[in-house]
């Protein structure tokens, strides 16, 4: 028999042994972050690494925010930021840590102000030394209203980092006077180092509990979210923040799905920027449950007609959505839940814009209920990292592409 296969196995075993003797264990393809962990969020660091942040349920009944950094192919030991027994623990609106530049990081979590009304505020804390120490937490909103403030997202890489969130300061009184139902707003602000930039109104009426998504562009930033009009149509809209005039643009639709629904689907969009190339992916229930994507080549000035990824006869049909999005070179990668599976789609450029390239890749079987949370996707040096929650806790998986 040929000896090459045995020799290769021996060489591989020697390499693994050498790594173990050197104290550097090879990175597992999949691992549980910690027992009691949930709702993981991935984010890149400016030096080409990554962090994963997550909520940790403590034995005391409190919740804490922790993170781990990816260095030299391995996840380092967990670092704690803060904890409290008054935090929101929610599958859709999860705490997170986001590096804004090499040394300035921001942590976000959510604190109940009235549990009976499900009212809570955002708390932000910034670190100026790469996550080693953290400043006193503060609220990015200054309205003092007991209402929902959450679903925050950050534009990283902009001239000045930017945050956008759902803001319940409109309250029930304003909603009753207008006769338009709930008055959830979308607001945003720059995160200058002095933290004194005012919050700005982006859209006066949006879907109540769909996550927002934000990305930096050469001209500023783009915020993508689920809108809500007077006829209960809840399509995906966007607004651009301009570095030139420091303002948000008037909201416009990414696409016209015409999805009319009488309640929040808790299913927000994803956005990623590759220079002036913008990709947006989202779930819609009209005409049937499906995931779509649209692209802009001019920083969001206009979007090309959307394409459908999943939800047709030739694709997975039981579509849940909860999309993730990342660039790999000129290709866009989209993750979505359908048929109790987390799928990875590759969208490639062609003469008409973009199209689905090849067959979607089944990554992992997932429980389609809310216990899975919102899976998170990040690309680092041609490797996809995907995080989600299961019965064992927050999971992270490395997928070579």
Least confident residue range of 134-143, 164-173, 227-236, 370-379: 164-173
Q: What is the pLDDT of residue 119?
A: 93
Question: In the sheet that 30-32 helps form, which strands lie side by side, from edge to edge?
Answer: 30-32, 393-400, 383-390, 376-380
Q: How confident is the model at residue 142 (pLDDT cuts 50, 70, 90)?
A: confident
**Average of pLDDT values for 104-109?**
97
**Average of pLDDT values for 99-117?**
95
Rg over CA atoms, the chain: 21
> What average pLDDT does the structure give for the chain?
89
* 3-state helix vs strand vs coil in the chain, percent to 5: 10, 50, 45
Name residue, tokens 């009009």: 229
Q: How confident is the model at residue 11 (pLDDT cuts 50, 70, 90)?
A: very low
**Average of pLDDT values for 368-380?**
91
CA atoms within 13 A on the CB side of 388: 29
Question: In the sheet that 270-274 helps form, which strands lie side by side, from edge to edge?
Answer: 270-274, 277-284, 290-296, 307-310
Q: Give the number of residues written for the chain.
A: 401
Q: What is the pLDDT of residue 1?
A: 40
Q: What is the pLDDT of residues 170-219, one digit of tens each?
A: 764 344 444 444 579 999 999 998 888 999 999 999 999 999 999 999 99
Q: What is the pLDDT of residue 171?
A: 66
Q: What is the pLDDT of residue 77?
A: 96
Count the Cβ atoms, other than its own, within 10 Å of residue 47.
9
**Average of pLDDT values for 133-151?**
93
Q: What is the pLDDT of residues 181-192, one digit of tens each?
A: 457 999 999 999
Q: How confident is the model at residue 369 (pLDDT cuts 50, 70, 90)?
A: confident
Rounded Cα–Cα distance for residues 217 and 241 (Å): 9
Q: What is the pLDDT of residue 342?
A: 95
Q: What is the pLDDT of residue 182?
A: 54
Q: How confident is the model at residue 350 (pLDDT cuts 50, 70, 90)?
A: very high
Q: What is the pTM of this model?
A: 0.90
Q: What is the pLDDT of residue 314?
A: 64
């Amino acid at each position: 028999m040929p000896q090459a296969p045995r020799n290769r196995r021996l060489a591989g075993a020697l390499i693994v042994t050498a790594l173990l003797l050197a104290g550097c264990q090879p990175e597992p393809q999949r691992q549980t972050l910690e027992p009691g962990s949930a709702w993981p969020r991935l984010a890149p660091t400016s030096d080409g690494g990554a962090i994963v942040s997550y909520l940790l349920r403590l034995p005391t009944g409190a919740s804490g925010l922790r993170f781990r950094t990816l260095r030299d192919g391995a996840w380092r030991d967990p670092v704690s930021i803060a904890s409290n027994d008054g935090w929101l623990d929610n599958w859709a609106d999860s705490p997170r840590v986001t590096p804004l530049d090499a040394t300035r990081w921001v942590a976000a979590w959510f604190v109940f102000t009235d549990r009976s009304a499900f009212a809570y505020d955002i708390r932000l804390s910034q670190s100026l030394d790469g996550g080693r120490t953290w400043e006193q937490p503060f609220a990015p909103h200054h309205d003092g209203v007991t209402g929902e403030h959450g679903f925050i997202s950050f534009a990283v890489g902009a001239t000045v980092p930017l945050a956008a969130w759902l803001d319940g300061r409109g309250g029930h009184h304003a909603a009753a006077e207008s006769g338009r139902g709930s008055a959830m707003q979308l607001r945003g602000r720059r995160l200058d180092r002095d933290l004194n930039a005012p919050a700005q109104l982006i859209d006066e009426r949006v879907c109540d509990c769909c996550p927002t998504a934000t990305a930096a562009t050469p001209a500023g930033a783009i915020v993508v979210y689920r809108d809500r009009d007077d006829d209960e149509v809840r399509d995906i809209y966007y607004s651009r923040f301009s570095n030139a005039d420091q303002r948000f643009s008037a909201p416009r639709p990414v696409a016209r799905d015409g999805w009319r629904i009488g309640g929040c689907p808790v299913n927000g969009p994803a956005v990623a920027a590759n220079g002036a190339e913008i990709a947006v992916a989202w779930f819609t229930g009209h005409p049937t449950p499906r995931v779509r994507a649209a692209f802009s080549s001019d920083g969001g000035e206009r979007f090309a007609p959307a394409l459908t990824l999943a939800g047709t006869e030739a694709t997975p049909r039981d579509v849940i959505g909860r999309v993730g999005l990342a660039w790999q070179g000129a290709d866009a990668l989209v993750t979505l839940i359908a048929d109790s599976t987390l799928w990875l789609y590759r969208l490639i450029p062609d003469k008409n814009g973009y199209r689905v390239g090849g067959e979607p890749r089944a990554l992992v079987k997932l429980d389609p209920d809310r216990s899975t949370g919102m899976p998170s996707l990040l690309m680092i040096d041609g490797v996809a990292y995907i995080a989600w929650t299961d019965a064992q806790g927050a999971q992270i998986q490395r997928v070579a592409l």
